[in-house]
């Protein structure tokens, strides 16, 4: 998803939130949709299922629903709920992590021009995200109709925080949400498109009334707003044009922001509510734990303002939004600025919301694993509430002697009753699940269905077929990595395994499927997509920083024997962690780590070998003192990239402090080389053989770019004019002498002087 925190969003797909963003996508068992927590008279029904890793959806004007799959397919669900087997189109995309096919929008004039727009990650180097226009012809794309409208900036090795949502605004312009590619400083500059909301004409040109058109250059003129982390989704309110942007957070807060031209939403300097006047405050921020409600990644949002109103009038104008990890949907009232629960449990990994032409609320569930993506709708039903099936029992394959359980999910008016049938004959089962114990070959081919009833009617589920194999499941063993293995950033993780089967013997490579999932707090991000046909391999880890160290990689192995029976196992690889202390001399000044400011000594846990950008902003004013960066105690420039070592480390930034003097106040005992004039006179000692002198002055210790240099001096003093910025109060200077033959001697020892002048 365009999420979370550091890989898929939670990525676009939570850090994480992911991601990050930020991030969140993993494997597991699909759960039934709970039925009891919708408001009275609301019901949910399954529209279509069987999609793989869906990322976004959009209704065509004729009622068809188009769904994008991360792997590059665009699928069509017809108005009667049929998922067409043939994709509308298939793109070659890079779908690693949170990359892939991520966004879709229809042209406002689709009925006449058949244009639709897609946002996806290119599959060839340099890897980057792309915005393209395509032309539809019925249920398929016109071959060769792609028109590339915008090539976004190249991506780093980080695969998360891509954004990707697309919508046309009421002004007829195309708006594009872009994540910051897991590099925080991207969000606050106008020199790239990462961490921004973009605004384009339909043909890909840039409107001249964009807020940064005259201050940015090239394609960066498309920037409409900045300071975003991973805006996975956003929405316009029909009729008013009000725009809400959902920004997936890092460790603490998820945000709903009001879209505005030229706005700066503060990432990475702020997250959640704040008092910084430089940045916009979110309309709503909810935490990752505690509070009235919490979650991990805000991944969907839509205003309820349909032409055909199906919900009660209370819901008109409300903003529906959803959380990826907690699987709830809530409403936000733009008038009262309050939020209310709508449902606390949907199908897993909800990634998009939309309102259908008939006024029903649709939601898109990514699911966990292949072909588990599904679309559901929520509708309002007055009076009778007959049951509906929310999860049909699934066909299963087992070995002789194993147990197998079939499950049926349903909702409707309470109480619900369940009745199971085997081959159309009722069996003694009255629960939502039915188990066949110790299966035999006589059970092979049996068909099971569930009949759900209440006082308002009954409904039959689809039939599920039981396949029984006269054999044993294969055994799978992960030999590499071993138990207790650890990693540090930038490592190459090797994996290998063996598999045997009672009937087949040693299984070949074709029987193996590997997958690596990155776990981050309570959510997951895909790392290595399912890979078939190898018994071993490697996966390269990034050195990109994470928002915390609660991260590990789970290596999954699934093997299949010739009869179709499978066995799965996994192995976890945990991080090697150290601590980094950031401090300043004198204490209390600011340093930045990957764009995040710290104003006091702080101890930060981090995975070994992670790459950090550390900065010592200069100058800094505190009270009546100006502080100018002098040095890092470990060396290097004020802004530098470091690799976190294996042992606890302290990074200390040293500053030189200069008092801000009142020009009218008398100086008391001025120190040597302390000047209160902007044109100080420097003096030096005579060299007996000197025919001239060369003086250099710089406000940096390395003299890489001297502010003053004069090699024609033939006297023992020189009046100089220092820099224009009074806060550059500390200066370094040196002098060298020249012989009568024109040869220069060595530079003198570096000396300093201070200027504090009006």
CA 598 to chain CA mean position, Å: 23
* 111 three-class SS: helix
Tokens of 631: 């040095």
Gyration radius from the chain CA atoms:
32
- CA-CA distance, 339 to 322, in Å (whole number)? 12
563 forms beta bridges with none
Angstrom distances, CA of residue 680 to CA of 626, 663, 673, 757 = 19, 16, 9, 10
Coil, strand or helix at 59: strand
Q: Give the CB-side neighbour count of residue 285, counting CA atoms within 13 A.
A: 15
Q: Which of 161, 167, 194, 546 is catalytic?
A: 161
The CA distance from 159 to 591, in Å, is 27
End-to-end CA distance of the chain: 55
Residue 161 falls in the annotated catalytic set = yes
- 493, β-bridge pairs: 539
Judge whether 510 and 532 are in contact, CB under 8 Å: yes
Pairing status of strand 388-391 against strand 54-59 = unpaired
Contact 282, 332 (CB under 8 A): no
Would you call 112 helix, strand, or coil by DSSP? helix
User: Cβ(228)–Cβ(184) under 8 Å?
Assistant: no
Return the beta strands (E) in 166-221 as ranges.
166-168, 174-178, 196-200
Residue (of 599, 636, 619) closest to 756 by Cα position: 619
CA separation, residue 98 to residues 87, 127, 237, 271, 553 (Å): 21, 13, 27, 22, 16
**Full DSSP string of 605-631:** EEETT-EEEEE--S-EEETTEEEEEEE
Task: Please count the other Cβ atoms lying within 10 Å of the Cβ belonging to residue 473.
Answer: 19
| CB atoms inside a 10 Å sphere around CB 401 | 11
In the DSSP assignment, the letter for residue 122 is B
Q: Which residues are catalytic?
A: 161
């Amino acid at each position: 998803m365009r999420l979370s925190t550091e890989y898929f969003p939670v990525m676009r797909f939570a850090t994480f939130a992911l991601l990050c963003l930020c991030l969140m996508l993993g494997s597991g068992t699909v759960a039934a949709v709970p039925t009891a927590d919708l408001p009275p008279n609301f019901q949910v029904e399954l529209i279509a299922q069987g999609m793989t890793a869906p990322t976004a959806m959009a209704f065509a004007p004729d009622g068809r629903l188009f769904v994008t799959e991360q792997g590059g397919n665009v699928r069509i669900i017809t108005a009667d709920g049929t998922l067409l087997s043939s994709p509308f189109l298939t793109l070659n995309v890079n779908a690693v992590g949170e990359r892939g096919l991520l966004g879709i929008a229809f042209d406002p004039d689709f009925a006449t021009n058949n244009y639709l727009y897609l946002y996806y990650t290119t599959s060839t180097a340099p890897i980057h995200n792309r915005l393209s226009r395509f032309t539809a012809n019925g249920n398929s794309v016109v071959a060769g109709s792609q028109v590339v409208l915008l090539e976004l900036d190249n991506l780093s090795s980080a695969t998360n925080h891509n954004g990707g949502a697309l919508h046309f605004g009421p002004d007829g312009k195309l708006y594009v949400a872009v994540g910051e590619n897991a590099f925080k400083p991207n969000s606050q500059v106008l020199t790239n498109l990462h961490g921004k909301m973009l605004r384009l004409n339909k043909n890909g040109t840039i409107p001249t009334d964009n807020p940064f058109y005259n201050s940015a250059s090239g394609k960066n003129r498309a920037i409409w707003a900045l300071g975003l982390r991973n805006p996975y989704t956003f929405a316009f309110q029909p009729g008013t044009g009000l725009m809400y942007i959902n920004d997936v957070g890092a460790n603490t807060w998820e945000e709903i922001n009001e879209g505005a031209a030229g706005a700066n939403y503060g990432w990475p300097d702020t997250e959640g509510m704040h008092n910084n006047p430089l940045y916009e405050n979110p309309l709503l921020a909810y935490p990752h734990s505690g509070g009235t409600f919490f979650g991990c990644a805000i991944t969907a949002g839509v205003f309820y303002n349909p032409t055909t109103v199906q919900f009660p009038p209370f819901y008109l104008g409300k903003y529906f939004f959803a959380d990826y990890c907690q699987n709830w949907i809530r409403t936000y009232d733009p008038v009262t600025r309050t939020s209310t629960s709508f449902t606390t449990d949907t199908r897993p990994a909800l990634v998009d919301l939309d309102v259908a032409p008939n006024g029903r609320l649709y939601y898109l569930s990514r699911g966990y694993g292949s072909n588990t993506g599904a679309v559901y709708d929520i509708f309002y039903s007055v009076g009778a509430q007959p049951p509906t099936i929310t999860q049909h029992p699934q066909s299963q394959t087992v070995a002789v002697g194993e147990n197998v359980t079939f499950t049926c999910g349903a909702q409707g008016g309470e109480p619900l009753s369940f009745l199971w049938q085997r081959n159309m004959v009722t069996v003694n089962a009255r629960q939502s699940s039915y188990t066949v114990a110790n299966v035999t070959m006589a059970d092979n081919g049996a068909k099971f269905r569930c009949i759900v009833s209440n006082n308002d009617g009954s409904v039959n589920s689809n039939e599920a077929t039981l396949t029984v194999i006269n054999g044993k499941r294969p055994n799978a063993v992960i030999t590499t990595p071993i138990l207790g293995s650890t990693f540090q950033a930038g490592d190459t993780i090797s994996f290998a395994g063996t598999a045997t089967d009672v009937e087949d013997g040693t299984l070949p490579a074709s029987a193996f499927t590997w997958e690596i999932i990155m776990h981050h707090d309570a959510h997951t991000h895909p790392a290595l997509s399912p890979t078939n046909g190898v018994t071993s391999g490697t996966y390269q880890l990034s050195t990109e920083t994470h928002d915390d160290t609660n991260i590990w990689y789970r290596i999954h192995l699934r093997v299949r024997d010739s009869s179709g029976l499978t066995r799965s196992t996994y192995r976890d690889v945990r991080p090697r962690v150290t601590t980094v202390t950031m401090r300043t001399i004198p204490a209390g000044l600011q340093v930045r780590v990957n764009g995040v400011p710290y104003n006091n000594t702080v101890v930060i846990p981090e995975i070994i070998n992670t790459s950090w950008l550390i900065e010592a902003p200069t100058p800094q004013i505190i009270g009546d003192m100006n502080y100018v960066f002098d040095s890092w105690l470990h060396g290097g420039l004020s802004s530098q990239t470091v690799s976190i070592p294996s042992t606890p480390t302290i990074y200390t930034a040293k500053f030189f402090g200069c008092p801000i003097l009142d020009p009218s106040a008398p100086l008391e005992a001025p120190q040597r080389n302390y000047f209160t004039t902007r044109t100080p006179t420097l003096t030096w000692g005579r060299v007996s053989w000197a025919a001239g002198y060369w003086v250099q002055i710089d406000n940096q210790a390395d003299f890489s770019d001297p502010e003053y240099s004069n090699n024609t001096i033939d006297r023992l003093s020189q009046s100089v004019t220092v820099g224009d910025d009074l806060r550059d109060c500390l200066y370094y200077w040196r002098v060298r002498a020249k012989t009568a033959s024109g040869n220069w001697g060595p530079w003198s020892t570096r000396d300093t002087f201070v200027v504090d002048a009006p």
